[in-house]
């Protein structure tokens, strides 16, 4: 635990003692919400003042993960949050002001996308790290602006990528750089614009490619589940690069043509993964990992496993999976305030989404309380002397992701880990 302590802060927050933070309107109670709103405004101003400097000081990065498209996703999120929180009791003046601000956020989202849409990199096909992310975002942003022609054009370009995704035998299957990352882009468009906006046969084809790839590699291993994958010659296990993230993505697919195939293939994999959980509730980052019980972060540790176990519980109605998710959240509460920072991939904001996911499922106020305490930690952005990430303002490494999480905290029942949960 000494090594673990070197990468985390001790959690000194008191645990839940009956506090109720969900108001009658199903949003965060007003007292807590007001402080978070003030911090969002302050951090957003800080972000906007720094983005331009960052873009001029580094080589162009159009990705959602660390680049300009990540800012576009944040502004789309802010737009949707603003329009969804306006109420019938608003005055005409305040409603018009909110609508105008929401439209401004859409325009900012589009501005951050324009270069990415005009200059596809052609190297990767995923939502977070490739061309699929800007295209999926472009489809949604244009549609929200009433420009259905450009929205449809983005979808056509996105769909055309499926041929390489299926045929390229060197392509991995994981979330950041592989087929699941492309599948996420298709699911993102469906989530925002409707299931029929994407050719559903493409989802079936990519899903089958992921299943076939897992079976082929799994057949080469003497022990383990029927599906197995590797990335950079390692059998990774976590949400970003590994088996848990791939199984979770497969469980999101509800196309009738592959549904029974998914459910029969995934369950033994989830059962296998369940056997790897440490007594602490955490998991190894890869099979045979020498780091042991160390990383408590979305990309490689227990916070990212919560989503697979929740999806498995919903699919198979097996309480073992819910209990595993609960154990994941316990270790996240104990060891999830990271010295790496406040970001989504490996920071406090990303870890906190695990609490919100379990709160949405169980309605146990303990999980909302814990998510709020992590939000309080994020509200003191910069005061804890965390390490400065390589891209300090980016969506998945830096400030943009923290603002995204704090915005979600205002409406916890609709909160979803960006570009992962749907």
Gap between the Cα atoms of 261 and 244, Å rounded: 18
Tokens of residue 272, six digits: 């296998």
Gap between the Cα atoms of 271 and 250, Å rounded: 15
Residues paired with 22 in a beta bridge: 28
> Which of 243, 251, 136 lies closest to 197, judged by CA?
136
CB 342 within 8 A of CB 392: no
> Which of 76, 58, 182 lies closest to 130, judged by CA?
182
- How long a stretch of residues is the chain? 422
The answer to whether 153 is a known ligand-binding residue is no
Mapped onto helix, strand or coil, the DSSP state of residue 8 is strand
The answer to whether 346 is a known ligand-binding residue is yes
The answer to whether 299 is a known ligand-binding residue is yes
Maximal C-alpha separation, the chain: 67
CB 377 within 8 A of CB 383: no
Q: Cα angle at 388 between 385 and 390, to 5 degrees?
A: 170
Cα 99 → chain centroid:
27
Alpha helices in 336-379 (DSSP H): 348-362, 365-379
> Which of 55, 16, 166 lies closest to 394, judged by CA?
55
Per the annotation, where are the binding residues for Zn(2+)?
299, 345-346
- Binding site residue list: 299, 345-346
């Amino acid at each position: 635990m000494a090594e673990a302590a070197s990468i985390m802060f001790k959690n000194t927050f008191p645990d839940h003692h009956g506090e109720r933070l969900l108001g009658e309107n199903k949003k965060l109670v007003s007292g807590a919400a007001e402080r978070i709103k003030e911090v969002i405004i302050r951090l957003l101003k800080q972000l906007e003042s720094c983005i331009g400097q960052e873009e001029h000081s580094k080589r162009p990065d159009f990705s959602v993960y660390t680049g300009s498209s990540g800012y576009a996703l944040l502004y789309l999120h802010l737009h949707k949050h603003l329009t969804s929180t306006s109420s019938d009791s608003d005055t005409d003046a305040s409603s018009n002001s909110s609508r105008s601000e929401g439209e401004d956020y859409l325009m900012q989202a589009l501005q951050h996308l324009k270069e990415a849409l005009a200059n596809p990199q052609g190297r990767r096909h995923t939502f977070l790290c490739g061309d699929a992310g800007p295209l999926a975002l472009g489809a949604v942003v244009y549609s929200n602006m009433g420009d259905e022609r450009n929205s449809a054009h983005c979808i056509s370009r996105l769909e055309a990528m499926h041929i390489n995704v299926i045929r390229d035998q060197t392509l991995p299957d994981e979330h950041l750089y592989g087929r699941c990352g492309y599948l996420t882009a298709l699911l993102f468009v469906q989530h925002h614009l409707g299931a029929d906006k994407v050719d559903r046969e493409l989802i079936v084809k990519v899903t089958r490619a992921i299943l076939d790839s897992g079976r082929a590699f799994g057949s080469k291993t003497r022990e383990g589940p029927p599906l197995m994958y590797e990335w950079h010659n390692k059998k990774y296990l976590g949400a970003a690069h590994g088996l848990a993230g791939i199984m979770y993505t497969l469980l999101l697919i509800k196309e009738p043509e592959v549904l029974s195939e998914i459910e029969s293939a995934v369950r033994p994999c989830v059962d296998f993964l369940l056997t790897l959980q440490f007594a602490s509730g955490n998991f190894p980052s890869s099979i045979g990992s020498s780091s042991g019980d160390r990383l408590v972060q979305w990309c490689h540790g227990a916070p990212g496993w919560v989503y697979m176990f929740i999806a498995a519980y919903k699919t198979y109605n097996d309480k073992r999976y819910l209990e595993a998710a609960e154990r994941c959240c316990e270790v996240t509460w104990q060891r999830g305030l990271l010295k790496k920072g406040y970001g989504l991939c490996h920071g406090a904001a990303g870890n906190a989404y695990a609490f919100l996911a379990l709160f949405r499922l169980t309605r146990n106020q303990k999980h909302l309380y814990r998510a709020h305490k992590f939000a309080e930690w994020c509200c003191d952005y910069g005061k804890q002397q965390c390490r400065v990430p390589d891209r300090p303002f980016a969506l998945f490494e830096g400030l943009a992701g923290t603002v995204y999480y704090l915005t979600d905290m205002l409406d916890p029942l609709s909160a979803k880990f960006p570009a992962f949960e749907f």
